[in-house]
């Protein structure tokens, strides 16, 4: 529900178009899947190297319906909770249960700084929530590999 209430803002408008330079130009094309690689190459050489995060942002900005992002972003937030809980389970050996999932949710709700900017806003979510899924997935993979090698 919070995703639906969050409007486009700031950088979302920049990433709706093919990135050419830090300031949008008059002849910018609206982004689509085939133009994202060129847009991200331009972004990499003109602004910063966060091409994974901004590729995610531009992927969702190509759609005229924000509901697509809202659904997938909600799933990503649930995925973050599950991944964090799986990491705790892998380290402690305790079973995954509803209480642990709820505690993880409460901690995220209260301790993520600027929740709206890092989880709900499209550009912030691409930079923080979605990349956190990648990082935590890698950490979980490494923990499981370490456990299997020591067993």
Condensed to tens digits (0 to 9), the pLDDT of residues 10-40 reads 888 888 888 887 766 666 788 899 999 999 9
Per domain, the residue ranges of the chain are 2-150
Q: 11, exposed or middle or buried, with CB in 10 Å at 0-12, 13-18, 19+?
A: middle
Model's pTM, two decimal places?
0.89
Q: What percent of the chain has pLDDT over 90?
A: 68
Note whether 29 and 15 are within 8 A (CB).
no
- Record the tokens describing residue 20, joined without a space: 């050419």
SS3 state at 17: strand
Q: How far apart are CA 123 and CA 119, in angstroms?
A: 9
Note whether 131 and 53 are within 8 A (CB).
yes
Condensed to tens digits (0 to 9), the pLDDT of residues 112-135 reads 999 999 999 999 999 999 999 999
């Amino acid at each position: 529900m919070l995703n639906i209430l969050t409007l486009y803002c700031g950088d979302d408008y920049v990433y709706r178009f093919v990135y050419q330079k830090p300031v949008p130009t008059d002849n910018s094309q609206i982004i689509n899947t085939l133009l994202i690689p060129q847009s991200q190459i331009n972004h990499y050489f003109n602004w910063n190297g966060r091409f994974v995060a901004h590729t995610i942002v531009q992927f969702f900005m190509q759609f005229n319906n924000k509901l697509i992002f809202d659904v997938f972003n909600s799933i990503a937030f649930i995925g973050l909770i599950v991944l964090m809980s799986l990491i705790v389970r892998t380290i402690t050996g305790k079973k995954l249960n509803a209480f642990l999932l709820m505690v993880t949710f409460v901690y995220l709700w209260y301790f993520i700084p600027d929740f709206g900017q890092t989880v709900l806003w499209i550009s912030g979510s691409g930079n923080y929530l979605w990349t956190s899924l990648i990082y935590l997935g890698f950490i979980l993979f490494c923990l499981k590999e370490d456990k299997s090698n020591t067993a």
